């Protein structure tokens, strides 16, 4: 009788422990790698804006949540206005950002950062 009682208590506990251990799937960044690639060329702790150099030119982006650093490789929709999600591949984080200007020249990007930050 003791064996039956002990087994009836241990079996559910052991099965619960083994079924609750689930291997988590790794993060698949193939979705983000299909987006527009850019490199952060300007980021300052005193300014909420940062510059991203893309294939089409420079984009002025305001950080809503999180902030990338200079030299970080980022993926996202930098060729449209508005709030977008940006994947910072260098850090492995997703940042919410607001694209203010895009397809700017080097000097146009400098003027825009001076306008927004100073």
| Residues 50 and 42: beta-carbon distance below 8 Å | yes
pLDDT of residue 9 exceeding 80: no
| Stronger pLDDT, 3 or 117, i.e. the higher one | 117
CB atoms < 10 A from the CB of 60, how many? 24
Q: Which two tokens stand for residue 37?
A: 């690639």
Mean pLDDT of the chain: 87
| Residues 85 and 96: beta-carbon distance below 8 Å | yes
pLDDT of residue 86 exceeding 90: yes
Write out pLDDT tens, residues 24-76: 667 778 899 999 999 999 999 999 999 999 999 999 999 999 899 999 999 99
User: For the whole model, what pTM was predicted?
Assistant: 0.76
pLDDT of residue 118: 86
């Amino acid at each position: 009788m003791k064996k039956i009682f002990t087994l009836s208590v241990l079996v559910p506990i052991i099965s619960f422990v083994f079924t609750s251990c689930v291997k988590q799937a790794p993060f698949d960044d193939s979705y983000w790698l299909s987006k527009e690639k850019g490199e952060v060329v300007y980021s300052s702790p005193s300014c909420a804006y940062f510059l991203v150099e893309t294939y089409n030119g420079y984009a002025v982006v305001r950080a809503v949540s999180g902030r990338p650093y200079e030299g970080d490789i980022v993926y996202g929709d930098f060729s449209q206005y508005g709030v977008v999600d940006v994947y910072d591949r260098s850090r492995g984080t997703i940042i919410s950002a607001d694209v203010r200007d895009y397809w700017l020249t080097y000097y146009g990007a400098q003027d825009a950062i001076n306008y927004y930050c100073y």
